[in-house]
Amino acid sequence: MRQILLITGGVIAAIAFVIGIFTFNQVNKEEAALTARIQVRSQVLAESLVESIQPAFEAGATSSIKRTIDKFVGDQRLSGLAVFDNTGTVILSSDNSPDVIDAELLAAVMGRGEPDGGFARNESGLLYVSVVPIIGENQETIGALASIQSADYIDATIGSIWRDNIIRFLLQTMLIAAAIFALARWVFFKPLYDLAESMRAARRGEAVDDDKIGGDLLLPLSSEIAKMTGSLRQARHAASQEARMRLEKIDTPWTAERLKEFIKAYVKDRPIFVVSNGEPYVNTRGKSGIEWTVPAGGLVTALEPVMEATGGMWIAHGAGEADKAVVDKDDKVRVPHDEPRYILKRVWLTDEEVAGYYNGFSNEALWPLCHMAHVRPVFRKEDWTEYRKANALFAKTLLKEIQGVERPLVFVQDYHLALVPGIIKKSRPDAQVAIFWHIPWPSAAQFSICPWREEILHGMMGADIIGFQTQQYCNNFIDTVASEIEARIDLEHFSIFREEHQTFVKPFPISIAFPGIAEREEKADPALLSRLGIHSTHVALGVDRLDYTKGIPERLKGIEFFFERHPEFIGHLTLLQIASPTRTSVGTYKKHADAVLAEVERINARFGTRDWKPIVFQHRSFSHAELRTLYRLSSMCLITSLHDGMNLVAKEYAAARGDESGVLILSQFAGASRSMKGALQINPYSAEETAEAIFKAASMPKTEQHRRMKALRTSVRDYNVYRWSAEIIKALAELD
């Protein structure tokens, strides 16, 4: 646009210059012609008058001269006449004759004895003064006569020439500017823009219509560019084929870099939008200002490294007391705070919404409904209402963000947001939506007790893909759909058809970033254990949110039974239980925390000595770095979940054991037990089995530890969270 304006401006300036020169010439010529005409006319008139007054002048008959000149002025429509004697003094003048006669002109005429004239100007306008000498008998100048007439028409004629030419110039300018503008835009710049756009599309790897590159004007150039984009396309295709083959090779480890390459090859850098209830960073006010922490929980542990690798946007509930203080006007903040890689967009919920949607329906209804831990789900109508409202709010926030984004990839997380896929798909059928259910899916019979089961299933089936941790949960889900709603189930492909929409149900066992920070070989400083008051030879470690599904009371029973059975370990083995407070506003969790603390006290009182405690209980969160140190310093890690979607602590323990030592004791009811074959599997409901596993771990020879730990580490390295996300993204992208 700027170029077009510049070209048009330049052409207008040139036209203005040419028209200006022509007008100036025309004006000069016209002025010369008009002046010559007025000169001749005035002189002829003056000379004829001199002839008629000469006798009277010579006779000094002034009254006769006066009569003659007054009549002459009237007849010839002159502005004035004046008669001078030989000294240049006015003898007579017509009535109202303007006083404009130049004394120098008069003197020159009288001196030379020849007529002359000139222009003068007074308040009535332009005047022409013609002076003719009166010559006596002896050829001497005896006086002079001056005639004055209006020359205004000369001004008017010149003015009209300028005016006409300016109007002509303006009209021409408008026409020419419009023509140039249209010409430049459509004939010149449009093909150029098209050419640039085609090249940009070729650079992005999108399809380019070669016929449209540049149009006729740039034909020679465009055919060359068409060849170039063709080669680029081929090279890109070859590279992407090669990348795909490379990326699909199972035996090379998945890393953040490989995931990035994979995203480029599979989804061509389409942005990824993650929506979850929990946020990856919580901002609080500390002693040194606003601080951030990573909350405990498998969802955040798994997804954060994925988002760091892929970039994109993560929409989550801002639950931290200082969350609002760090976001911009769109409620966004770039994270991680020290090295930003993706955008965290926070959704704000009222206390009432949190009470009903989060504490109520999510944690008191769906969580116990999906986990077989013998806690009764509570279904309250008002919680359900808040759950629906909050889901609509999350969906609305996402819809706003994906406005204008073509075929966005949307990845909804967990049981808090079961209704979100349905809402998204309704407004944006082009969006590719997956929901991942991080927790178990119960049997159809168990799920049938939920009063709003149909709405939940419909909401989830808005997604193109529903991911679960294990094949068993997929089977349970398909059974549930079959018994609750009308839909066609395709068991061959594990998909559900409902109103023309197909939803695939697939297992994607979640994992951790390994290799990654988990593998960093920092030195495990035993001082951390000393600071916790632990000096035993054997440390059995438990790391969990203080949740009733984690089987902590059962673990405590197991340890008690172990000391009963193997008193030789009293004073030599300590259970370090790290339990981060969780969902503390929910009554069941408060009661559970109290019960666990009481059990710890009871067992410590039963077996403890002056300088040894069987159980060291830490009721707080630790940093990931501290946890890695503790994983390395422990002889065993105890996972006794009564029911667990996956359990990432099991995978973190294996990932941290670069020394290939240590033993993992793993509940058979945790999803992780499906793939972690080197673990000692237990039924946590059996205190005897747990106690025997602790004994076996404490006495296991190093060689067996190595063999088992190697297998565990291989399983986590082969199926880490980068691969997990790549498989989900690949499944989504392949739906095209």
Q: Which residues bind ligand G6P (CB under 6 A)?
A: 278, 297-299, 414, 438-439, 582-583
Classified as helix, coil or strand, 140 is: coil
User: Which residues 564-623 are close enough to bind ligand ADP by CB under 6 A?
Assistant: 578-580, 621-622
Q: Which is nearer to ligand ADP, 380 or 624 (CB)?
A: 624
User: Which residues 648-677 are close enough to bind ligand ADP by CB under 6 A?
Assistant: 648-649, 652
Tokens 């030599």 sit at which residue? 572
Q: Which is nearer to ligand ADP, 394 or 617 (CB)?
A: 617
CB of 364 to ligand G6P, least distance (A): 12
CB of 468 to ligand G6P, least distance (A): 12
CB of 438 to ligand G6P, least distance (A): 4
CB of 309 to ligand ADP, least distance (A): 17
User: Which residues 88-147 are close enough to bind ligand ADP by CB under 6 A?
Assistant: none
With contacts defined by CB under 6 A, how many residues of the chain interact with ligand ADP? 18
CB of 730 to ligand ADP, least distance (A): 23
Give the binding range for ligand ADP (CB under 6 A) out of 161-169, 295-303, 368-376, 470-478: 295-303
The one of ligand G6P, ligand ADP, none whose footprint includes residue 621, by CB under 5 to 8 A per kind, is ligand ADP
Q: Which is nearer to ligand ADP, 130 or 413 (CB)?
A: 413
Question: Residue 335 interacts with ligand ADP (CB under 6 A)?
Answer: no
What's 412's DSSP letter?
A: E
Question: Residue 689 interacts with ligand ADP (CB under 6 A)?
Answer: no
Classified as helix, coil or strand, 685 is: coil
CB-based contacts of 524: which residues, under 8 Å, 6+ apart?
628, 629, 632, 633
Max CA pair span of the chain: 168
The per-residue DSSP string of 242-256 comes to HHHHHHH-TTSPP-H
- Token output for 700: 């296991």
* β-strand pairing of 141-150 with 90-93: unpaired
* β-strand pairing of 282-286 with 289-293: antiparallel
The one of ligand G6P, ligand ADP, none whose footprint includes residue 578, by CB under 5 to 8 A per kind, is ligand ADP
Cα 237 from Cα 227, distance rounded (Å): 15
Q: Which amino acid is at 227?
A: K
CA neighbor of 435 nearest in space, from 462, 474, 472, 455: 462
The one of ligand G6P, ligand ADP, none whose footprint includes residue 278, by CB under 5 to 8 A per kind, is ligand G6P
Half-sphere exposure of 405 (CA within 13 A, CB side): 20
- Token output for 500: 């023309």
| Whether the Cβ atoms of residue 676 and residue 514 lie closer than 8 Å to each other | no
Per-residue exposure over 145-183, b if at least 16 CB sit within 10 Å of its own CB, e if not: bbbbbbbeebeeebeebeeebeeebeeebeeebeebeee
| Whether the Cβ atoms of residue 447 and residue 416 lie closer than 8 Å to each other | no
Other CB atoms within 10 A of residue 303 CB: 24
The one of ligand G6P, ligand ADP, none whose footprint includes residue 540, by CB under 5 to 8 A per kind, is none
Cα 286 from Cα 486, distance rounded (Å): 53
Give the x/- contact pattern for ligand ADP in 519-558, rule: CB under 6 A.
Answer: ------------------------xxx-------------
CB of 278 to ligand G6P, least distance (A): 4
Other CB atoms within 10 A of residue 86 CB: 14
Give the binding range for ligand ADP (CB under 6 A) out of 26-34, 147-155, 360-368, 644-652: 644-652
CB of 543 to ligand ADP, least distance (A): 5
Q: Which is nearer to ligand ADP, 397 or 580 (CB)?
A: 580
Q: Which is nearer to ligand ADP, 297 or 336 (CB)?
A: 297
CB of 295 to ligand G6P, least distance (A): 6
Question: Residue 301 interacts with ligand ADP (CB under 6 A)?
Answer: yes
Other CB atoms within 10 A of residue 637 CB: 26
CB of 366 to ligand G6P, least distance (A): 10
- What are the angstrom distances between the C-alpha of 187 and each of 182, 193, 213? 8, 11, 13
* Residue with nearest beta carbon to ligand G6P: 297
User: Which residues 402-441 are close enough to bind ligand ADP by CB under 6 A?
Assistant: none
- Chain-centroid distance of CA 409 in Å reads 15
The one of ligand G6P, ligand ADP, none whose footprint includes residue 583, by CB under 5 to 8 A per kind, is ligand G6P
- Token output for 109: 């005429």
CA neighbor of 503 nearest in space, from 548, 550, 437, 567: 437
CB of 583 to ligand ADP, least distance (A): 11
CB of 470 to ligand G6P, least distance (A): 14
Q: Which is nearer to ligand ADP, 129 or 365 (CB)?
A: 365
User: Which residues would be at the binding site for ligand ADP (CB under 6 A)?
Assistant: 296-298, 301, 543-545, 578-580, 621-622, 627, 646-649, 652
